[in-house]
């Protein structure tokens, strides 16, 4: 791989938003390392990128396991861009219905994983005195929508973004958050089809009359890692079609 290219590491790149971010960064001639627990899906993403003439390496691993994160960054080398996208919300919902293992796993992937990957990236970024970290949070962190553990973790990401931007801005490192609204991917489309009442409640709140796409988020990532965004640091950018501009969100029913 050419030394002239910037290197990006994207977590959760096997599908959905993460996969589209990998595609976008590869189109912009970044070499991309994708870290995901899904070995098969991750390899499919990397193979797709390489077949199109891009540069992508798939690393199977768990973002909440320090050894896996260390191995991914050793493979990647010095990372110029980190996108903390990996998430988990299976079994989440109302707190009184939540088993401890769901709470632990959700916080581990959605928040601990961001901490571990950011720590690994900052080691080389501080040495090189440049870099960009983008954390993918959620509108759940900005409004009481649903998913107790996921919302707590995503809220933690907003606070983490601010403190890291303050701590490492003097090194030439920018750290920002994107908070997506309802994004239709293959997996989320199935979810909303199973819950048409929730689908209708949410869609009615979007001023532009549609949910977001994975391309919407990838486009925001592309801008925020570019030189055009050099004065944006410590910010949370909602990419939500105006959802969080609405005064009152629906009260969602338990899905259990």
Q: What is the pLDDT of residues 44-76, one digit of tens each?
A: 999 999 999 999 999 999 999 999 999 999 999
Q: What share of the chain is helix, strand, coil (3-state, %, to 5)?
A: 50, 15, 35
**Is residue 202 situated within a structural domain?**
no
User: Is a pLDDT exceeding 70 seen at residue 253?
Assistant: no
Q: How far apart are CA 140 and CA 150, in angstroms?
A: 8
What does the pLDDT read at residue 68?
98
Look at the chain and report how many structural domains it folds into: 1
What does the pLDDT read at residue 185?
85
**Is residue 1 situated within a structural domain?**
no
Specify whether 150 is catalytic: yes
Mean of all residue pLDDT scores within the chain: 92
Tokens of 226: 């570019």
More confident call, 6 vs 2: 6
**Is residue 175 situated within a structural domain?**
yes
**Is residue 248 situated within a structural domain?**
no
What does the pLDDT read at residue 177?
98
Q: What pTM, to 2 d.p., does this model score?
A: 0.92
* 100-104 CB contacts, 8 Å cutoff, 24+ apart: 102/149, 103/149
List the beta strands (DSSP E) in 37-111: 55-60, 81-84
**CATH number for 60:** 3.40.50.720
User: Is a pLDDT exceeding 50 seen at residue 256?
Assistant: no
Q: Which domain holds residue 120?
A: 7-182+213-231
Q: Which of 69-73, 95-99, 177-181, 199-203 has the lowest mean pLDDT?
A: 199-203
User: CB within 8 A of 165, min separation 6: which ones?
Assistant: 174, 175, 176, 233, 234
User: Is a pLDDT exceeding 70 seen at residue 19?
Assistant: yes
Digit-coded pLDDT (tens) for 88-117 = 998 889 999 999 999 999 999 999 999 999
**Is residue 204 situated within a structural domain?**
no
Query: How many residues would you count in the chain?
Result: 256
Tokens of 256: 């259990």
Neighbour-count burial for 151-173, b at 16+ CB within 10 Å, e otherwise: bbbbbbbbebbbebbeebeeeeb
What does the pLDDT read at residue 91?
87
C-beta of residue 175 within 8 angstroms of C-beta of residue 165: yes
Phi then psi for 152, rounded to 5 degrees?
Answer: -60, -45
Q: How far apart are CA 47 and CA 114, in angstroms?
A: 26
What does the pLDDT read at residue 251?
55
**Is residue 236 situated within a structural domain?**
no
pLDDT band with cut points at 50, 70 and 90 for residue 246: confident
User: Is a pLDDT exceeding 80 seen at residue 250?
Assistant: no
Digit-coded pLDDT (tens) for 124-175 = 999 999 999 999 999 999 988 889 999 999 999 999 999 999 999 999 999 9
Task: Given the residues 150, 168, 192, 206, select the one marked as catalytic.
Answer: 150
**Is residue 107 situated within a structural domain?**
yes
**Is residue 24 situated within a structural domain?**
yes
Pairing of strands 131-136, 212-213: unpaired
What does the pLDDT read at residue 215?
97
């Amino acid at each position: 791989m050419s030394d002239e290219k910037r290197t990006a590491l994207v977590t959760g790149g096997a599908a959905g938003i993460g996969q589209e971010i990998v595609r976008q960064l590869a189109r912009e001639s970044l070499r991309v390392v994708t870290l995901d627990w899904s070995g098969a899906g991750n390899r499919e993403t990397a193979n797709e990128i390489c077949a199109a003439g891009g540069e992508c390496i798939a690393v199977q691993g768990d973002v909440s396991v320090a050894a896996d994160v260390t191995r991914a960054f050793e493979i990647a080398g010095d990372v110029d861009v980190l996108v903390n996208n990996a998430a988990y919300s299976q079994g989440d919902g109302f707190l009184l219905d939540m088993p401890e293992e769901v709470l632990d796993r959700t916080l581990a992937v959605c928040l601990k994983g961001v901490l571990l990957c950011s720590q690994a990236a900052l080691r080389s970024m501080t040495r090189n005195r440049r870099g960009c970290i983008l954390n993918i949070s959620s509108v759940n962190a900005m409004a009481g929508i649903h998913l107790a553990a996921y919302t707590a973790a995503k809220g933690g990401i907003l606070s983490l973004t601010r403190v890291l931007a303050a701590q490492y801005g003097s090194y030439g490192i920018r750290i920002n958050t994107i908070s997506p609204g309802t994004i239709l991917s293959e997996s989320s489309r199935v979810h909303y089809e199973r819950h048409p009442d929730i689908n209708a409640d949410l869609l009615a709140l979007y001023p532009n009359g549609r949910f977001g796409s994975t391309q919407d988020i990838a486009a925001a990532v592309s801008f925020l890692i570019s030189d055009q965004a050099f004065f944006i640091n410590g910010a949370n950018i909602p990419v939500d079609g105006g959802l969080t501009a609405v005064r009152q969100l629906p009260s969602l029913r338990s899905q259990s």
